[in-house]
Structure 1
């Protein structure tokens, strides 16, 4: 899963079980909240997080607002 538990666009905690955060591209784990070097993207209404390595490698596509499926 690529979103934080309790992380909702509606401002409140959700009833979903807690899941650890992983990069939506390579699966690298993050301990705790998303590191400040990670990138958050909302694609088709779904929040996704990308690790710093994947973010750097795909910066041009991210800035061009291409969905990660196009990277």
Structure 2
């Protein structure tokens, strides 16, 4: 199970849910984004919308950082 940064699994109190924005195109998430892709790059989480994820699927599967796509 994965939680968002600031969640209760880090020892802190439950914070307000963060609104997610696609790290590539800037599209805001409307509610929980169950079909978005999460990537950890240089120690930080980045989220990508459905469209950006589909357009860059081969690079994601090849584990290339988003700077390469």
Extract unaligned runs of 5+ from structure 2: none
TM-score, L = length of structure 2: 0.76
Extract unaligned runs of 5+ from structure 1: none
Which structure shows the higher strand fraction? Answer: 1
TM-score, L = length of structure 1: 0.74
Hey, which bits of structure 1, 4+ residues long, moved more than 3 A? 16-19
The CA RMSD measured in Å over matched residues stands at 2.4
Aligned pair count? Answer: 65
Which structure shows the higher helix fraction? Answer: 2
Structure number with greater Rg is 2
Higher relative contact order structure (alpha carbons within 8 Å, sequence separation ≥ 6): 1
